[in-house]
Amino acid sequence: MSVLSLQEVSVRSDGRCLLDGVSLTVEAGEIVGVVGVSGAGKSTLLRVALGLELPSAGEVRWDEAAPASDPMERVRAARRRLGAVFQHPAASLDPRRTLLESLSEPLETHDRDVAADFAGRVAQMLEQVGLPRDYAARRPAQLSGGEAQRAAIGRALILRPAICLLDEPTSALDPCAALS
């Protein structure tokens, strides 16, 4: 069964065609890369796949859920199975919140059963992405670009999503450093 399906998706904005009839299916365990020149629509494709932008035509499905047409409860349950890392990590982390607060937010929203152990889950995730546990007290302004990218990756993975959509996830990372 596919975890993500886009069928004949088109996006038009201000008279411009940003995506035209894109179809893509991602199966569980599959890794898919989308490559294109700057301005080709890769970030638009990501926003549409995440349901953050509605297509002008076509359909997006996560497992069996269709974010544009299904009841909000079903969409919300399906959204829990999605992780996302955006192109600019600093913009995806709230500057007023610590990493503990930012990485806990998906848990608070979608996995309240682990409420007593948010700090423990965040500390483990920070270690998994190569950041010290004590970074949980830091705010995004206290991080380098690569550290912010690692935190954004950790935030995307903290719910153990079925699919993780990444927009240039390694652009700010040191090519010598590997994620655990």
Residue-level pLDDT at 110:
74
Quickly count: other Cβ atoms within 10 Å of residue 1's Cβ: 7
Question: Is the predicted pLDDT of residue 177 greater than 60, yes or no?
Answer: no
List all residues 6 or more positions away from 43 whose beta carbon is below 8 Å from its beta carbon: 87, 167
Condensed to tens digits (0 to 9), the pLDDT of residues 58-88 reads 999 998 889 888 898 888 888 888 999 988 8
Compute the distance between CA of residue 21 and CA of residue 37 in angstroms, rounded to an integer. 18
List all residues 6 or more positions away from 155 whose beta carbon is below 8 Å from its beta carbon: 92, 93, 102, 103, 105, 106
Give the predicted TM-score (pTM) of the model. 0.85
Residue-level pLDDT at 59:
95
Question: Is the predicted pLDDT of residue 174 greater than 80, yes or no?
Answer: no
Mean pLDDT check: name the lowest of 56-70, 108-122, 159-173.
Answer: 108-122
Compute the distance between CA of residue 142 and CA of residue 151 in angstroms, rounded to an integer. 12
Handedness of CA 179, 28, 30, 92 (dihedral sign): negative
150 or 114, greater pLDDT? 150
**Using an 8 Å Cβ cutoff, are 155 and 106 in contact?**
yes
Residue-level pLDDT at 180:
45
Question: Is the predicted pLDDT of residue 10 greater than 90, yes or no?
Answer: yes
Question: Is the predicted pLDDT of residue 175 greater than 70, yes or no?
Answer: no
Residue-level pLDDT at 116:
61
